[in-house]
Chain A
Amino acid sequence: MFTNTQIDIETLPKVSDIALIPVEKSYIKIVLFNLCVIFISIIGTLFGLKFLKEDSKFDSIATTLIIGLIVVFIVQFVVLVLGFKNRKYALREKDIIYTKGLLNFSTTILPFNRVQHVEISRSFLARKLNLATLEIYTAGESGSDLKIGGLPEDVAESINEYLTTMLDDRV
């Protein structure tokens, strides 16, 4: 029989009620390692140029740049460390939730019935630590996609499987 009862918005399932699971602690090593690699390579290049070019004008510019970069690096480092505890995820029956960010905290919710495809990737370090990154794509802009790093390998694997079977069923 067809029914069409009024919906009380207050009784709807709430995203805010969900107990979120933090990503693996060991993942912070990878995050920080990646940050260090980027900054060390940039600063290293600048140092190299400084030695090669014996130009006093360039020298002073490079020094200022290096100092600036180090400051940015430290700030980034602190933000990443403090913000790491905000990286949490949760699965519900019909969607997946991911939170992140320190200065700009965000919660993204992606309904399963909008998933286009799923990807798992493991970097060299992640393989050592038994971690995986799960990427869930929707149609449209990149902003609507979800990338969760630092999942235990088996969890990423099972979410991937769950979503893939659901995609197959949907046709």
Chain B
Amino acid sequence: MTVYSFETPSRQSLKGVIIIFAINLFKTIKKSIAVIFVFAISYIRDFEIVNNHGLKVVLGFGIFLIILLVISILKYVTFKFRVDENYFFLNKGIINKEQITISKSKIQNVYIKQNFVQQLINVVALSIETAGDDKTEIEIHAMSKQKAKALKEVLLKHNSDEINIDPVAEDIYFKASIKQLILEGISENHFKSLAFILVLFTGVYRDFRGYIDSFEIETKFKHYFEFDEFDIATFIVFNISLVIIVLIIAFLFSLIKIIIINFNLKVVRTANGLEISKGLFNKISLHLKKKRIQSITLKTNRFKQFLGLYSLRFTQTMGSKKQKERLSIIGLNKLKSNELIRGFYRDVFKNSNKQHPEKYFMRVQTIRWSFIVLLINIPMFLVSRYTLFLNIPILLLILLHVRSSYKKAYFDLDDMYLIKGSGGAIETRTDFLELHKIQSVELTQSVFQRRRDIASVIIYTGSKGFTIPHITRMNAQRIIDYILFKVESQHKDWM
């Protein structure tokens, strides 16, 4: 069928040397970035050193590059892989030889990736992910596109299940346009990127505090704003503009991130699952097998809903954070997202029997939030008594949040699927899972719940736990008995 034979050990494409070299160089630079930064700054400050030691530095760097190149070539030479009927074999290592054997049946995903350098020299990387932990990801750094595709097919083809990754229909089922991506980016939860940026800044600041302080930014700023006179208006303007700048950065950050990751997002339906490809600098394409899916999450928020945007996220066993990003499709409309879910879970929307948690749910949420507000109030009170007025909007927001999360919380259990709805003032999420993917169940009851005869049920799948919060104990027990009956009476494969 294919012109390529993987039975005999083969190396990656010769261009792999370049990729390995680039990866090693990048890794080393990334690790020593702090040192380089420090050196660079001291050079800038004192040109004398550059004049005296310039040659030494260049020479040192040259030797370093040569060593790196030799290592890369050795790595390339020792890296050999082959595939037989049931296994994938990989030999690698210069001094510490490693032989890796992976059973084809345990392969969870095969990605074809292409980073910026790989795009330049027109090769792709192929990485294999098993259902073990995320450390077992194996990457072949450089292959021609055709060869990678052929290998992917060979790896995914297994005796027990006839996998056919040829698309059902040749045409693309879904393609996200730039406009959709921009809208997705704009309606993102920007607080997440805000938090990320703040963490990043504090980290960088802590690392380079000495150098940053030495530039005496503070005194310059003080001079600029003439803080000596302590003008309260300037102070406020300064702080507000700082906040606005940070907010704009956060906004741009999430917008650009969304566009880069999901650039040219394409989804093709195949007989056994989906073929997803996306990415600008890091192109990735993967085949999502129906069997390997542990749960599906449909997500939207108030703004996205208004714009008609929904995203789907698939989970698998032992998913890493990276994998979560890869296994998601954004920019879908309601119709398409439902159609995709139905593609995996055929009868999931057939019966609807939504059950809501007890009213106690709202009580718990209110108490929890009030506690947080109380904690915030202590420093607020110390600053100024007037800030206490801030409590009014905060409390209104909490009220809205608690009411929305109560309204959005439901579960729907039928003889094949569990659907769980949740959300808050802004977000809405719906989780779908098949009952035979459940690994274990747990009934929990806190002291406070016990007084009202209320309990929660936690359902564990191969990927994560789903909590059905605050239902009557009777109901919780019935659900557990039913799920156990379903899991134990049929011998369906969970993976």
Give chain A's interface residues, CB within 8 Å of chain B: 7, 9, 12-16, 94-95, 101, 103-114, 138-141, 143-144, 146
Known interface pairs A140-B461, A141-B464, A143-B458; A106-B439 also in contact (CB < 8 Å): no
Report the minimum CB–CB distance from B292 to chain A (whole Å): 12
Whether the Cβ atoms of B441 and A109 lie closer than 8 Å is yes
Known interface pairs A14-B477, A111-B488, A113-B491; A146-B440 also in contact (CB < 8 Å): yes
- In the complex, what residues of B have CB within 8 A of residue A138's CB? 439-440, 460
Known interface pairs A9-B482, A140-B462; A110-B444 also in contact (CB < 8 Å): no
Q: Is the interface of B mostly helix, strand, loop or mixed?
A: mixed
Q: Give 11 CB contacts A-B under 8 Å.
A: A15-B443, A94-B488, A104-B447, A105-B445, A106-B442, A107-B444, A109-B441, A114-B438, A139-B318, A139-B462, A141-B464
CA distance A120 to B114 in the complex (A): 45
Report the minimum CB–CB distance from B446 to chain A (whole Å): 5
Q: Which of B440, B442, B445 has the most CB of A within 10 A?
A: B440
Compute the total of residue contacts between A and B using a CB distance below 8 Å.
Answer: 95
Whether the Cβ atoms of A13 and B485 lie closer than 8 Å is yes
CA distance A95 to B439 in the complex (A): 11
- In the complex, what residues of B have CB within 8 A of residue A144's CB? 439-440, 460, 465
Whether the Cβ atoms of B460 and A143 lie closer than 8 Å is yes
B131 on interface, CB distance cutoff 8 Å: yes
- In the complex, what residues of A have CB within 8 A of residue B480's CB? 15, 109
Whether the Cβ atoms of B442 and A107 lie closer than 8 Å is yes
Q: Which of chain B's residues 478-495 have a Cβ closer than 8 Å to chain A?
A: 478, 480-482, 484-485, 487-488, 491, 494-495
- In the complex, what residues of B have CB within 8 A of residue A114's CB? 438-440, 487, 494
Whether the Cβ atoms of B442 and A9 lie closer than 8 Å is no
CA distance A104 to B447 in the complex (A): 6
B334 on interface, CB distance cutoff 8 Å: no
Q: Which of chain B's residues 118-153 have a Cβ closer than 8 Å to chain A?
A: 131
CA distance A25 to B445 in the complex (A): 24
Known interface pairs A111-B484, A114-B487; A139-B477 also in contact (CB < 8 Å): no
Instruction: Report which of B318, B446, B460, B478 forms a contact with A104, defined as CB distance below 8 A.
Output: B446
Instruction: Report which of B442, B445, B462 forms a contact with A108, defined as CB distance below 8 A.
Output: B442
